[in-house]
Structure 1
Amino acid sequence: MLTYDFEKRGKMSLYEYLYNCIKNDILSGKIKAGEKLPSKRTMAKNHNISVITVENAYAQLLVEGYIFSKEKRGYFASEISGQYLNNGGINGNKEKIVETKVSLKSGQIKKKIQDTKKQWLVDFNSNHIMYDSFPFSIWSRIMRQTLLDRENSFLSSPLPNGVVELREAIANHLMEFRGMEVDAENIIIGAGTEYLYSIIVQLLGRDSVIAVEDPGYRKIGKVYESNGVECLHLPIDNSGIQTKALLGKKIDAVHISPSHHFPTGRVMPVSRRQHLIHWAIENNGFIIEDDYDSEFRFSGRPIPTMVGMDKEIVIYMNTFSKTLAPSIRIAYMVLPDSLMEKFHTKLNFYSGTVSSFEQYTLANFIAGGYYERHINRMRNYYRDYRNKIINAIKQSALYPKVTIEEENAGLHFILGIKKEIDDNRFKKILRENNINISCVSDYCYNDLKEFDHKFIINYSAVPEDKLKKALTIMNNALE
């Protein structure tokens, strides 16, 4: 019987302490692979804690891949090695790849412009936030105070990697929110992730090969290819990018979103993360961890980052455009020491791409605790709003014809259609009725049939009063 001393938990909540104890026992081998864990009721009774506490701990272990469940049989320990779960070291020079030309047809460009201007009944493609949720009064007050406190600082160019105050604020936030121990000196601030992608290309070399997820966010591959890098689009499965697809290929870096994949919303389990770390070490490669949307996890604790497994091979990236506003073009990445040294040596001639004023304002917003409170408020708001959207679907005539998938994190979920349909025809009918929607296959580089009939519901800016009508139209389109 597993027994843990809860008097040693310190400031940790009961479920976090139990989660950590079981996780450490699995990693150390004390709990063997395939070993059955005590039932939730037995574990609760043995430690004089509630069943809900055990349920929350098991749920977190399950989503991170430390345990798996068998229907009516219980929970079992996954086969996991603790070898790559501490900060290790690996670096190396990388330089390679082929030129690729990327172009968009003029018709596609025209359509994008028209879609941007069109007033939709419901736009399931929009990832904008609700504008009334932005803390305008606090932000404007901090801007005024920043002008008073920093008037002399605005006359000088920002450092290539960003102002110290913002980098330190981000480092502290990452420690508090993600449990990441990072040095502010390893952080680079940029005007959006696209700019940071181009910096990565220059650090790795334009003759490099970068693997990206398929399906995945199409802009990532386009930006890399426009910078002269060869992109390999590798398929994902339920655990994320397939590591077997990396074998036998000369790849310098793998770009992934392990904590909340777009568009599927899947979480990469710890065993797959270990395989990727092992691949990177064996092949002198890097992992680019895109943590976009990780702040909006609605159950359990945040998924640990891969930086904690080996900070010398993982490039961590995130942005404030989702949590604050798309117009706030401030993103950042945390580089391994080897690449940070290379940045200072070869790319130190760059000027900062984000104005000092915006950087100081955001730094004060984070350091003053306003950002954390804003995130907590937004998380609660979108959890409630997601529930309203899902309940509306469940109460509609559409519900028997669909499935709802990966709804526990991020500001979108997947709506699966149970019957065989022509995805493009379905989208066309909806567009003719002023409903804008995309399917997962729109984000596939290769023809991956397993992602057919799955549609992306971005709900962050869906007007609640128009949802019922939209669901009726969608149901009629499936008749």
Structure 2
Amino acid sequence: MLFVTIDRKSSVSLTQQIYDQIRKSILNRDLEEGERLASSRGLSAAIGVSRNVVLEAYERLIAEGYLEVRSKSGTFVAKGSFLPAKGKTSEYEKVMPNVADRKPIIDFRGSHPAMDQFPRKKWGQLTRDICYEAPDHIFGYAEPGGIRELRVTLAKYLQRVRSVHCHPEQIMITTGATQALRLITEMLIKARTGISVEDPVTDEMRNIFFSAGAGIIPVPVDENGIIPECLPKEEGTGFVFVIPSHQFPMGGILSIQRRVQLIQYARELNNYIVEDDYDSEFTYEGAPVPSIQGLDPERVIYVGTFSKILSPALRMGFVVLPTHLIETFRRLKWFHDRHTSSIDQLVLSRFIEEGYLDRHIRKMRRIYRKRREVLETAVRASFKNAKIIGRAAGMHLVVDIPDIDFDDALAGEIEKQGVRIYPVEHFAMNKGRHTHQVVMGYGSLTPEQILQGVTQLKKFLSTRG
């Protein structure tokens, strides 16, 4: 039996409404194979629409094979047009939680920016202006390395704020730092399969390197960053991956002595240093430390992103390459996605040129400094023997509580209480050195959420004896 209802207030056309309902009835077997449908004249009279509307819906269903016309008999449901019932719940449905069942979580995720502070109004104004004013060629295919306007702007900006020495041709615009690191890995591990990587490090980085076919050599870090003496002495590594300005997760800053050692190491073994500079703009004690790239532009590949400064949604990153690697990288970029959005590149270029980025960073420094202070104060008040690790920078800190072993099982129990924390051991390749340490991010949490989260954490841990 066919029942069709019409909603004349809906933005969906009458034809589409009829089509959707008949198609659904067939797929769900509410209409059986071979069942005869009402004539177009009869259905149109029954639901109060013109016959042409019903005819158009029927014609679509006939063209797609749901219905068939039998001469002098009418319109029928075609054979084989229903969808067999599912025998069991799919694996996807098993693992996907019901949104309605989710409890609010205070998520201390590290390096996650404050989404509510994105400069929507100004970004929207610039986007509108550029869409009206930009020359026609901007809406076509662009250079894989990025539009020149942004590369020129970035070269000046990086020299001013990060002491990066480069010309615009050395800058390649990428779809986020993730793509940048993937392309670098593909480019450098063809003849050499190993990568020396800080340990611990974010699992995202490890996954990028693994997926590109690289072997990983973990190198320990301390409060001063990666320990150069622990680097492999033999040749065979494609590059050394470091986060020198604010190591994730431990928060250390690589000393000038170790920076010099790293460069000497890269020169001797004829390989590269890949410098990930993801949140150095947010420093709350003194001035940001200059980049390693400025010490040796031919041995250091500098990677930056605007995901942490502005928003991950922009998917805007960049690489500063030694001159002899430019063409190889450009070809790889072309094969991956041709080029990054030209409109967004132009907007970002103007956002930087007109001083809005500097203003936004100053504003966010104040906000993040306050949130860090609230978190530090709450942690020290709640856990008397806790130690805060890492320089006052970025959007996260590491808490060391000697009498608590933070592992994934404990983190799962804590999450059931409405708080999500991240054991440092989760990021470590060599296990056992960070069992009492946990990463707590504050970038995306309000002071009120931070206080509530620490209170709930203390309450739960105190009940465990």
Q: What's the TM-score once normalised by structure 2's chain length?
A: 0.74
Kindly report the root-mean-square deviation, in angstroms, between the aligned alpha carbons of the 2 structures.
Answer: 2.7
8 Å CA contact 2:199, 2:220 repeated in 1: yes
2:196 maps to 211
* 1:298-377 superposed matches below 5 A: 298-344=284-330, 352-377=338-363
| Residue number among 166, 170, 184 corresponding to 1:200 in the alignment | 184
Task: Determine helix, strand or coil for the equivalent of 1:400.
Answer: coil
Cα gap change, 1:461/1:113 in structure 2, threshold over 3 Å: closer, same or farther? farther
Question: Per-residue deviation at 1:120?
Answer: 3.3
| Corresponding letter in the other structure for 2:247 | H
Question: Per-residue deviation at 1:385?
Answer: 2.1
Question: Per-residue deviation at 1:349?
Answer: 6.0
Distance 1:349 1:269 in 2: 38
2:416 maps to 432
8 Å CA contact 2:105, 2:419 repeated in 1: yes
Distance 1:388 1:365 in 2: 31
8 Å CA contact 1:124, 1:457 repeated in 2: yes
8 Å CA contact 2:401, 2:436 repeated in 1: yes
* 1:49-128 superposed matches below 5 A: 118-125=102-109, 127-128=111-112
Distance 1:332 1:379 in 2: 22
1:296 maps to 282
- Counterpart check, 1:186 vs 2:170: yes
Structure 2 unpaired stretches of 5+ = 1-89
Task: Determine helix, strand or coil for the equivalent of 1:451.
Answer: coil
8 Å CA contact 1:128, 1:325 repeated in 2: no
Task: Determine helix, strand or coil for the equivalent of 1:188.
Answer: strand
Structure 1 unpaired stretches of 5+ = 1-105
1:467 maps to 450
Cα gap change, 1:128/1:252 in structure 2, threshold over 3 Å: closer, same or farther? closer
Cα gap change, 1:378/1:468 in structure 2, threshold over 3 Å: closer, same or farther? closer
8 Å CA contact 2:180, 2:318 repeated in 1: yes
Query: Which of structure 1's runs of 4+ aligned residues deviate more than 3 A?
Result: 106-115, 117-121, 341-353, 420-426, 466-469
| Corresponding letter in the other structure for 1:322 | K
1:97 maps to none
Between 1:238-247 and 1:263-272, the stretch displaced more is 238-247
2:152 maps to 168
Question: Per-residue deviation at 1:230?
Answer: 2.0
8 Å CA contact 1:407, 1:414 repeated in 2: no
8 Å CA contact 1:159, 1:351 repeated in 2: no
1:245 maps to 230
8 Å CA contact 2:408, 2:426 repeated in 1: no
Distance 2:232 2:435 in 1: 27
Tell me the alpha carbon deviations over residues 45-83 of structure 1, each in whole angstroms, 9 at most, x when there is no partner: xxxxxxxxxxxxxxxxxxxxxxxxxxxxxxxxxxxxxxx
Task: Determine helix, strand or coil for the equivalent of 1:289.
Answer: strand
Question: Per-residue deviation at 1:445?
Answer: 1.2
Tell me the alpha carbon deviations over residues 98-147 of structure 1, each in whole angstroms, 9 at most, x when there is no partner: xxxxxxxx9999879889x9443411126433233111111111011111
Tell me the alpha carbon deviations over residues 225-245 of structure 1, each in whole angstroms, 9 at most, x when there is no partner: 211222222222333222233
Task: Determine helix, strand or coil for the equivalent of 1:142.
Answer: helix
8 Å CA contact 1:190, 1:331 repeated in 2: yes
Between 1:348-357 and 1:228-237, the stretch displaced more is 348-357
8 Å CA contact 1:162, 1:352 repeated in 2: no
8 Å CA contact 1:206, 1:228 repeated in 2: no
Q: How many residues align?
A: 371
Distance 1:429 1:374 in 2: 38
| Corresponding letter in the other structure for 1:266 | G
Distance 1:470 1:346 in 2: 44
1:159 maps to 143
Identity of aligned residues (%): 30
Distance 1:328 1:345 in 2: 23
Question: Per-residue deviation at 1:473?
Answer: 2.6
Cα gap change, 1:393/1:201 in structure 2, threshold over 3 Å: closer, same or farther? closer
| Corresponding letter in the other structure for 2:438 | F
Distance 2:391 2:456 in 1: 22
8 Å CA contact 2:148, 2:168 repeated in 1: yes
| Corresponding letter in the other structure for 2:208 | V
Question: Per-residue deviation at 1:253?
Answer: 0.4
Q: Which has the larger radius of gyration?
A: 2
Between 1:422-431 and 1:249-258, the stretch displaced more is 422-431
8 Å CA contact 1:190, 1:352 repeated in 2: no
Distance 2:98 2:392 in 1: 32
Question: Per-residue deviation at 1:338?
Answer: 1.4
- Counterpart check, 1:225 vs 2:210: yes
1:136 maps to 120
Question: Per-residue deviation at 1:434?
Answer: 1.1
Question: Per-residue deviation at 1:419?
Answer: 1.3
* 1:393-408 superposed matches below 5 A: 393-394=379-380, 396=381, 398-408=382-392
8 Å CA contact 1:429, 1:477 repeated in 2: no
Tell me the alpha carbon deviations over residues 394-451 of structure 1, each in whole angstroms, 9 at most, x when there is no partner: 4x4x23142222251010001111314353443233112011110111100121x331
- Counterpart check, 1:385 vs 2:371: yes
Cα gap change, 1:197/1:471 in structure 2, threshold over 3 Å: closer, same or farther? closer
Cα gap change, 1:465/1:349 in structure 2, threshold over 3 Å: closer, same or farther? closer
Question: Per-residue deviation at 1:195?
Answer: 1.4
Distance 1:289 1:374 in 2: 24
Question: Per-residue deviation at 1:199?
Answer: 1.8
8 Å CA contact 1:120, 1:436 repeated in 2: no
Cα gap change, 1:322/1:113 in structure 2, threshold over 3 Å: closer, same or farther? farther
- Counterpart check, 1:255 vs 2:241: yes
Distance 2:457 2:419 in 1: 9
2:79 maps to none
1:60 maps to none
Distance 1:129 1:108 in 2: 30
Distance 1:476 1:248 in 2: 48
